[in-house]
Structure 1
Amino acid sequence: MTTTTLDPLPQDPAHGPLLQALRRRDRTLAEFGLILLVLAAVLGVAWAIDPRQLHGEDVWAKPVKFLLSVGLFALTSAWFAGLLPEARRRAAPMRLVRWTIIATGVFELSYITLQGALGQASHFNNSTPFHMVMYSLMGVGALALTATTLPLAREIARHGAGLAPALRLAIVLGLGLTFVLGVAAGVAIAAHGGHGVGGIPDHPGLPLLGWSTTGGDLRVAHFLGIHAQQLLPLAGAVLVAAWPRRARPAVWLVSALYVLLTVAAFAQAMMGRPLIGL
């Protein structure tokens, strides 16, 4: 079995092994993701000291959550890029993935952060033509960002020869389901005109996540969809280590259960039932 080679990276005592590995795998995406995490920490301070709220949620909550989410998305993409041979990492599909993540991420996060600083909504804000256009562009940007999982999945499927077959399958399925489930839930939220179904308006939700505790919340299914990118490959790695001979059918089973869980979370929200009622 062949193994995927990685570019050598000089050892830097100022960075831990994980950061070194991320920078070696895809320096541009890794550094972009790390910058977003640092910005999330900075805005977390603003979240702690700024008492302003919008529709029952702290004005800095959405920028922090989106910075964390896109930062994790970029870092995970960087890790998967490192599973490819050097020639494929430099090829057009990966260049498209890399710069689409950065361009759409910068656009989305800049606008969300600006609106948070102004104490105004970024999503479902149709108060002026400008806000309507920006909200529409954000939808296009979110679709393009999520769609980067598809060429990355194709690259892993075709060129990830150094991976255990079950792990490669888990990565490909995780990336594919991120697009399918994440976009489906996102479209449902947009069509519904918001994430809440029933419940008490402006009622505080779960800490950090903000999910409603009094009614249905479509963001639960969206969260599961988007984070299939990380959760299914992690499950695949555990299965390969624990049951190497049966890992491949186990990956299929776990993936099917994950889809059912996401669909169940969506159905529960549409019935107006919270994930956790308080």
Structure 2
Amino acid sequence: MIEGILNFIKELKIRNESLFYFGLFCLCLTIIFIVLTKLTTTQVHGVNAWFKPFKFAVSIGVFAWTMAWYCHYLANFNITPFNWVVIILFGFELLYITFQASQGQMSHFNVSTSTYSMLYSLMGLAATIVTLYTAYIGLLFFTQTFPDLPNYYVWAIRFGILIFVVFSFEGALMGSRMNHSVGAINDNSNWFIVGWSKTVGDLRVSHFIGMHALQILPLLSFFIFKNTKATIIISIFYGLLATTTLVQALKGKPIFQKTETTQIKE
């Protein structure tokens, strides 16, 4: 297990040194952020302010490593522009989220001043550009052939990128509402680390599930299913799962509801 992880890290560094170090930097930041959640009491919408940069640092770091791994398979693909787009734009996003956490302020949906409004818009633009670039990479995976890779693994990458792109753009839905909750204003029920609402609909659930198809589907296909038909079927069901949680959130229903117990007095 440990040897396998070390081999993966060595290979990842060979495949794309720039995204390897950027992802490593993000993942190192997560340690600092999780420590800060224990050392500070500053809260934003009812949860410790440092949980948000922690979640984004994990997500960005994993994305950087994932795309570094996949892009290596593409023929005649100039990876350098993509590297800089990810590092600069996601680096800016993480920097702003971290700064706002240090101030006890919201980063997303914060238009309380013209400066905050501009920076929030720039974050949205940055995420859109990275997602569109990733969609282009997905198109290359659909149009190129990969004779040296298992067919089921290639299809898992294709579906993973497709679902990632669709549910990345779901972030625009939250942006248009200026709210990630349906039935409350940016409710955070502190459900584990993700903070999903236990009382109302939460659009972040489908956003999270859909975006991490990028990692989950290829891992399942490569290590467990090892079959093209099974990969396609599980990918369709995974997409339906993300869609179902989106519909559920839009109806104002939480993914996990509290069970209330009534005590009968004698």
TM-score, length-normalised on structure 1?
A: 0.85
Structure 2: which 5+ runs fail to align?
259-266
What's 2:38 paired with? Answer: 48
What's 1:187 paired with? Answer: 172
What's 1:5 paired with? Answer: none
| C-alpha separation in 1, matches of 2:48 and 2:187 | 11
Deviation at 1:150, TM superposition (A): 2.0
Call closer, same or farther: CA 1:240–1:162 in 2, change over 3 Å: farther
What's 1:257 paired with? Answer: 237
Contact 2:179/2:186 (<8 A) preserved: no
1:108-131 deviation per Cα after TM superposition (whole angstroms, max 9, x unaligned): 001010000011111111111111
| C-alpha separation in 2, matches of 1:203 and 1:105 | 24
What's 1:178 paired with? Answer: 164
SS at match of 2:149: coil
Moved over 4 A (4+): 199-203
| C-alpha separation in 2, matches of 1:155 and 1:202 | 39
Structure 1: which 5+ runs fail to align?
1-12, 242-246
What's 1:230 paired with? Answer: 215
| C-alpha separation in 2, matches of 1:109 and 1:203 | 20
What's 1:131 paired with? Answer: 116
Call closer, same or farther: CA 1:19–1:221 in 2, change over 3 Å: same
Contact 2:188/2:196 (<8 A) preserved: no
Contact 1:239/1:250 (<8 A) preserved: no
Contact 1:97/1:152 (<8 A) preserved: no
Structure 1 position 151 matched with structure 2 position 136: yes
Aligned length in residues: 254
Call closer, same or farther: CA 1:174–1:202 in 2, change over 3 Å: closer
SS at match of 2:116: helix
What's 1:33 paired with? Answer: 23
| C-alpha separation in 2, matches of 1:66 and 1:198 | 25
1:65-123 deviation per Cα after TM superposition (whole angstroms, max 9, x unaligned): 000000000011111123345xx3xx43x222221111111110010100000111111
SS at match of 1:126: coil
What's 2:146 paired with? Answer: 160
Percentage of pairs with the same residue: 35
Call closer, same or farther: CA 1:194–1:201 in 2, change over 3 Å: closer
What's 1:277 paired with? Answer: 257
| C-alpha separation in 2, matches of 1:112 and 1:199 | 22
What's 2:264 paired with? Answer: none
Contact 1:97/1:151 (<8 A) preserved: no
| C-alpha separation in 1, matches of 2:47 and 2:63 | 24
Deviation at 1:199, TM superposition (A): 5.1
| C-alpha separation in 1, matches of 2:256 and 2:244 | 14
SS at match of 1:148: helix
Contact 1:33/1:72 (<8 A) preserved: yes
| C-alpha separation in 1, matches of 2:119 and 2:138 | 30
Two-structure CA RMSD over aligned residues (Å)? 2.0
| C-alpha separation in 2, matches of 1:255 and 1:99 | 30
Structure 1 position 107 matched with structure 2 position 92: yes
Structure 1 position 268 matched with structure 2 position 248: yes
1:206-234 deviation per Cα after TM superposition (whole angstroms, max 9, x unaligned): 01100001111000010012111111111
| C-alpha separation in 1, matches of 2:166 and 2:253 | 24
Contact 1:218/1:266 (<8 A) preserved: yes
Contact 1:239/1:251 (<8 A) preserved: no
Contact 1:153/1:172 (<8 A) preserved: yes
1:157-194 deviation per Cα after TM superposition (whole angstroms, max 9, x unaligned): 415331111111110121122111221x2121112221
| C-alpha separation in 2, matches of 1:203 and 1:155 | 38
| C-alpha separation in 1, matches of 2:189 and 2:244 | 23
Call closer, same or farther: CA 1:172–1:19 in 2, change over 3 Å: same
